[in-house]
Structure 1
Amino acid sequence: MTEASILSAPLAHSADKSHKAIWAASIGNLLEWYDFGVYAYLASLIATKFFPGNDPTASLLAAFAAYGVGFLARPLGGIVIGRRGDVKGRKAALVLTIFLMAFGTIGLGLVPSYESIGIWAPTLLVLLRILQGVAAGGEWGTSTAFMIEWSPPHRRGFFGSFQQVSTAGGSLLGSAIAAILTSSLSAQAMLDWGWRVPFLLGAVLLVVGIYLRQNVEETPSYEASKKAVAEQPAVAGAPLGLLAFGFTIFWTVAYYTLLAWMPSFTQRFAGLSPSQSLWSNTIGLVAMIIAVPLWGALSDKVGRRPLLMASAISIGLLAWPLFTLMSKAGGLMLVAPIQIFFGILLALYSGAGPAAISEIFPTRLRSTWMSTGYSLAVAIFGGFAPFIATWLIQVTGSPVAPTYLYLLPSAVISLVVIWKLSETSGRQLG
């Protein structure tokens, strides 16, 4: 049998092996996105501890800038660790990312504040965020490839959706822990030491993630494509990586605007307290997590493109009126249902997205170029979304400016890419 026929032949996926593999990747992914995302929920406290000043907005901008620096390192992780995933295997790359992320997160929980060591405090903070960024850059594409390649062809949408379930689950865990601490500790206790706890808790999941990842097999698709990986120039996937880049722009802008930045918006403009904003965000994340696998399974039946387009169009058009409503009326009873609604709409993209973006690539190029294209888009458009949103509000004086100056254009760009992609649900992986 030729190599081409091996790659095109249906691969056997036992239920036990598939479930174990998905579980292993999900746990590690949850850990990494908990670790990477918890910073955003504690941004106001981090601003005070590491970027003190007379202007609270300037301090918050500095904290969000440090948050964004971690995203700038993600393309490096996507290239280096993604290539490792194509050459050495998905497992080897995933174990590396989890070690790097854990080191960076525990370090953030231990680094002294500006009051103790001066300028070294924000310097160390930025360096640790860069380390986290390298890990995150390699994690997303490699874990997505791992899940998709272990999925039966007719259920890739459903199985692949657990990549986003675990990603959102990590954000949910971070939001929930921040909300619990904010609700149970005094404001002074949170400022003194409470903000460190979520970072230090990241070590708890490390053991679980490593155990599971060391006890699963390499994907059948990767094993079948080893020779092709060695013979294929790495640059061959650049045009496909560009498609992944455009595909991701709306996804990342919507995710980091509607989730990571939302607590800051609802505190400043919708009249919510710090704990209310975090609980409202947590509720929206729960709705998203529930909806993602449902939409993923639906994409196996009706195709990826209808769901992706519905998400981009609905969020692009509805963000401005709904944000305007929150800024004028406010209150938890209004904000929480809107966040649930946004969570369900974003789940349309997140449910179909992992399978759709994976199916752009052949197996021999998938880890490298999916990681690189995705990470570049997240670095440029997603990581700085909280910073850009805060800056747009400051410049325009309008609390809803990010919806029509940033979120809507991103939806248009990704819609163009989706329109050009062919439907891939049900097809055998290349």
Structure 2
Amino acid sequence: METNKSIQMPYSKERRNIVVGLSVGLLAFLSGFPFKATKVSAANETIYYPVDYGAQLNTPNFDNAPIINNLINNMPPSGGVIELPAGEMWIHSPIKINRSYVTIRGVNAGTRSHVDNEEQPGLNHPGGGSKLILGTNCQTGIVSEKRVGAPRVSSIQLENFLIQGRGTGKGQIAVNIEHDNDAVRIIGVSIIAVGMGLRSVGADAFTVRGCWISEVHDGLHSLGSSQQLLVANNYFGAQPGGRSIYLENPNWANIVGNNIYPDGHVCLEAKGAQNCTFTGNNIQSYYTGAVIIKGDGNLFSGKVQALRSSGNWLQDPIGRDGLYGLIHVDGNDNHITASSINSDQPETHTRILIMGGNGNWVTNTKIYGRSSNRKVVVNGSCVDTRIVHSASSLDVDKANSNTTIVW
């Protein structure tokens, strides 16, 4: 007869949650940080509520960043979620995410625009939602700092809250992921009144989706080299002298379905772009050079509208003349297709400029608005350029280039 056999209890979801909770509690005890009970969601997320650890809402002089940073630093190896409640959470120093698997999320993004103040005088930050408010001396809201020799960070996620600065001329950055990173996701975040909305360096599989980044000097800057960048279904609006979307050396980026408002001197610029796709974007601009694509093997398809402000075509804020092109392409094997270009530029200004390279095509693109014989301009050094069902020979200035026109 067998005796003393152990009984193995099934490892249920409830038991797993208890183990996670005990692990967090032990980590808190060892670290000396006064953790309180946290919630473990059905998805096994460990959720931290900053107000349970001394964070204060609607208190402009209180700095909540140190409390949030302590929570991040004392998370278990699997990471966790910082959940921001509805209301204003002020910070006077950066929130630092120098580890992987950290999520900061709010209940919703709340108000978006300063226009609300005009409609409802007396409200400093009207509307509902979770708001992260940057104090005057807080130059960066959320940062992942560059650390020499440190492993790259992965799976940082920001979602469903508002970040508001003190004005577009203060040089503040809402989010700065300056450390090499994988799979950072910015989802449903509203950003207003800062110098730069999002800045990322060395990003792989970086996602920006469903955000409202407007009333900022610059929108999104992706610097260094990036791979598989996805920027989809957002709203961008830079200010004069700024750029709404700027990509440096992107590889296989997908910039899809965004609304890009006028005012910035560049709506979309991709420098050193390789095999990227820019499709379904609705782009409006007051200036030449609204779209700049420099690189090889890129596809552009979308709507670009050149507008006059107050009845006048505005002088370019960085001094480009009308020959630069509303759309400026320089490189090899780039393709503009199935696009609609509605231009109110002066007649002598260039709509599409193929500045240089081999094998660039403009096909099935409607170019209309003010009449012009410079709908497409091809630099004389270009080779094997093709303009198909987009402009007649009377509308194309091909200089001495090797260009085929099919109308």
TM-score w.r.t. structure 1 length? 0.24
TM-score w.r.t. structure 2 length? 0.24
**Which structure has the larger Rg?**
2
> Higher helix proportion, which one?
1
> Higher strand proportion, which one?
2
